[in-house]
């Protein structure tokens, strides 16, 4: 998939927007089919099943003047290699047409309704259906046999989401189309289905007007992340600390995008001060007096009490530009050093840590 992936990147100018990549995929697939069709003259015939069938065994036509059919019509099959090439083309075509459907499924589902089993079924089911249709073709006997086998096997699955059922139906339809060598119809189904699904998802078609739209649900939390002047909570600090540098960068980039979207504002605080102490009340009083004198603004974020262990006071602070982090730590140690065995400052965008004690 490497070169194919690069080609899609090239067509989308490196964009990672799903819709653009989907369109690029279909365009690329169309170009490949066109190119193959130009080189391989029989390609169109194989694709649509319109290749000429040889009369290996002369076919006796039904006598229209007699009541009953006089003889059975032999089932004509193309030569084995031709059949192999056609069937392979059908199956590969099925996978290529269902891949974008599975991508759309994954993109338009939230984490709760996402079902990996359905995703894999979307790829596998049409292959099986196409295979069955190719085998059964015009044979009534085989069709009855298939019904018998299916009745004997009995498989039933309940899907949680009605939309999953629609995806399954599409997979069956594509499989059928491929089985009867009507891949152009399967391609049209795949494209049209994806377009409709994306539009209904993008515009939240059919939502309850009394409930907030999915897009508006995120406005408030995103605003709180971007608008640091508001009196809102900051993201979970422990969660931020648990991030790897790579994931922190990704998260930061996302936050930057949100800020770009909702307006650029300076961050309200630029450091987190963590104090470990056994005398919580006294430490809090002295610390807040110190912070009033030394920092631009501060806020008590959390007091963590642990049984049998020292408690922890956590302050969000904005250190003045005229003061370095070292000077601030020195001032803290000088004022309340006797009460606080541990002082820790997490400051700056990279959350540099300086510990004492």
Residue 63 binds another protein, judged by CB under 8 A: yes
Q: What angle do CA 148, 153, 157 make, to 5 degrees?
A: 120
b/e map 108-128, b = 16+ CB within 10 Å: bbeeeeebeebbebbeebbbe
198 φ, ψ to 5°? -65, -40
Among 5, 36, 59, 302, binds another protein (CB under 8 A): 59
Contact code string over 325-354 relative to another protein, x by CB under 8 A: ------------------------------
Residue 46 or 274: which CB sits closer to another protein? Answer: 46
Report the alpha-carbon distance of residue 260 to residue 273 in Å, rounded: 28
Residue 82 or 224: which CB sits closer to another protein? Answer: 82
Residue 239 binds another protein, judged by CB under 8 A: no
Binding residues with another protein: total (CB under 8 A)? 32
Contact 222, 215 (CB under 8 A): no
Among 141, 210, 239, 306, binds another protein (CB under 8 A): 141
Closest distance to another protein from the beta carbon of 75 (Å):
9
Contact code string over 11-50 relative to another protein, x by CB under 8 A: ------------------------------x--xx----x
**Distance of CA 318 to CAs 178, 230, 293, 310, 346, Å?**
65, 15, 12, 25, 11
Contact 190, 97 (CB under 8 A): yes
Contact window for another protein (CB under 8 A) among 4-12, 19-27, 147-155, 271-279: 147-155
Among 1, 39, 140, 209, binds another protein (CB under 8 A): 140
Among 1, 13, 39, 52, binds another protein (CB under 8 A): 52
Closest distance to another protein from the beta carbon of 111 (Å):
40
Residue 54 binds another protein, judged by CB under 8 A: yes
The residue behind tokens 């995929």 is 25
Contact 130, 175 (CB under 8 A): yes
Contact 46, 89 (CB under 8 A): yes
Report the alpha-carbon distance of residue 51 to residue 58 in Å, rounded: 18
Closest distance to another protein from the beta carbon of 183 (Å):
16
Residue 44 or 288: which CB sits closer to another protein? Answer: 44
The residue behind tokens 């089932």 is 75
SS3 102: helix
Report the alpha-carbon distance of residue 41 to residue 276 in Å, rounded: 80
Residue 89 or 279: which CB sits closer to another protein? Answer: 89
Q: Could you tell me which residues come within 8 angstroms of residue 20 by beta carbon, excluding any fewer than 6 positions away?
A: 12
**Distance of CA 264 to CAs 129, 225, 348, Å?**
54, 11, 18
CA-closest candidate to residue 164, choices 123, 113, 212: 113
Contact window for another protein (CB under 8 A) among 149-157, 169-177, 188-196, 295-303: 149-157
Among 7, 99, 124, 142, binds another protein (CB under 8 A): 142
SS3 272: strand
Residue 139 or 350: which CB sits closer to another protein? Answer: 139
Residue 145 binds another protein, judged by CB under 8 A: yes
DSSP-derived secondary structure letter, 264? -
Among 1, 151, 210, 239, binds another protein (CB under 8 A): 151
Contact window for another protein (CB under 8 A) among 71-79, 193-201, 224-232, 290-298: 71-79
DSSP-derived secondary structure letter, 231? S
Interface positions with another protein (CB under 8 A): 41, 44-45, 50, 52-55, 57-65, 70-74, 139-142, 144-145, 148-149, 151-152
């Amino acid at each position: 998939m490497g070169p194919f992936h690069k080609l899609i990147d090239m067509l989308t100018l490196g964009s990672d927007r799903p819709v653009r990549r989907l369109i690029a995929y279909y365009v690329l697939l169309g170009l490949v089919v066109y190119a193959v069709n130009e080189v391989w003259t029989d390609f169109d015939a194989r694709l649509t099943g319109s290749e000429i069938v040889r009369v290996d065994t002369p076919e006796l036509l039904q006598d229209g003047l007699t009541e009953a059919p006089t003889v059975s019509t032999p089932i004509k099959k193309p030569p084995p290699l031709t059949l192999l090439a056609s069937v392979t083309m059908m199956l590969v075509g099925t996978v290529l047409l269902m891949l974008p459907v599975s991508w759309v499924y994954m993109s338009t589902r939230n984490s709760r309704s996402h079902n990996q089993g359905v995703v894999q079924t979307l790829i596998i089911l049409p292959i099986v259906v196409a295979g069955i249709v190719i085998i059964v073709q015009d044979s009534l006997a085989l069709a009855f046999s298939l019904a018998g086998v299916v009745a004997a096997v009995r498989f039933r699955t309940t899907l949680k989401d009605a939309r999953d059922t629609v995806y399954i139906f599409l997979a069956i339809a594509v499989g059928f189309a491929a089985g009867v060598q009507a891949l152009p119809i399967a391609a049209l189904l795949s494209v049209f289905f994806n377009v409709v699904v994306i539009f209904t998802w993008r515009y939240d078609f059919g939502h309850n007007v009394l409930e907030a739209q999915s897009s508006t649900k995120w406005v408030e939390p995103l605003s709180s992340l971007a608008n640091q002047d508001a009196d809102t909570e900051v993201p979970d600090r422990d969660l931020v600390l648990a991030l790897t540098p790579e994931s922190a960068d990704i998260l930061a980039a996302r936050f930057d995008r949100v800020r770009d979207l909702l307006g650029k504002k300076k961050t309200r605080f630029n450091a987190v001060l963590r104090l470990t102490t056994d005398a919580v009340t006294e430490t809090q009083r002295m610390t807040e007096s110190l912070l009033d004198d030394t920092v631009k603004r501060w806020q008590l974020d959390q007091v963590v009490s642990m049984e049998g262990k020292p408690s922890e006071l956590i302050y969000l602070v904005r250190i003045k530009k005229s003061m370095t982090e070292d000077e601030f730590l020195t001032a803290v140690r000088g004022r309340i050093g006797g009460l606080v065995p541990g002082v820790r400052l997490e400051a700056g965008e990279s959350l540099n840590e300086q510990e004492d004690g």
